[in-house]
Amino acid sequence: MKSALLIASAVVLAALAPALIASPAQAKTMKECAAEWQEMKTAGQTGGMKYRDFSKQCMSGGAPAAEAPQQQQPEAASPPAAKPVTGGRAAMVTRLRACAADWKAAKAEGRTAGQKWPQFWSACNKRKKAQGM
């Protein structure tokens, strides 16, 4: 039973393999598509299409972008409203900027005592919080 199933699946795979591997006759190589893109780009005929989309279309044997119907670009929607900044987040940003300025000054004067930014930030943040910042 198992050998019959194995033989049947091998026959089906052998029959379908050429269909899966075969590529369209009109498909182009990447080099040909790149040359065509450069020609279209210098002539200003890309029509807003990106190279990646063009290369996929070209290599799959689709119609060149110049002959493709022009698609209208959807109008840009207004960007979504940003979340309001909370008080805690604003205070953290203020402390971060103050500590960054302190870090730059300490580093320029050589007062970091071998600390890296994360250690300096931790100590500075605690100090600024204690100061009520």
User: Per-residue confidence of the chain (133 residues) as pLDDT tens digits?
Assistant: 678 877 877 777 677 666 555 555 556 788 888 888 888 888 888 888 888 888 888 888 765 544 444 455 556 666 777 888 888 899 999 999 999 999 999 999 999 888 999 999 999 999 999 998 8
Model confidence, pTM = 0.39
What per-residue confidence (pLDDT) applies to 73? Answer: 56
CA distances (Å), origin 44, targets 22, 37, 61, 65, 101: 34, 10, 22, 12, 48
What per-residue confidence (pLDDT) applies to 74? Answer: 58
DSSP string computed for 37-48: HHHHHHHT--TT
What per-residue confidence (pLDDT) applies to 18? Answer: 63
The residues spanned by each domain of the chain are: 26-65, 87-130
Q: For residues 19 and 83, what is the distance between their CA atoms, to the nearest angstrom?
A: 53
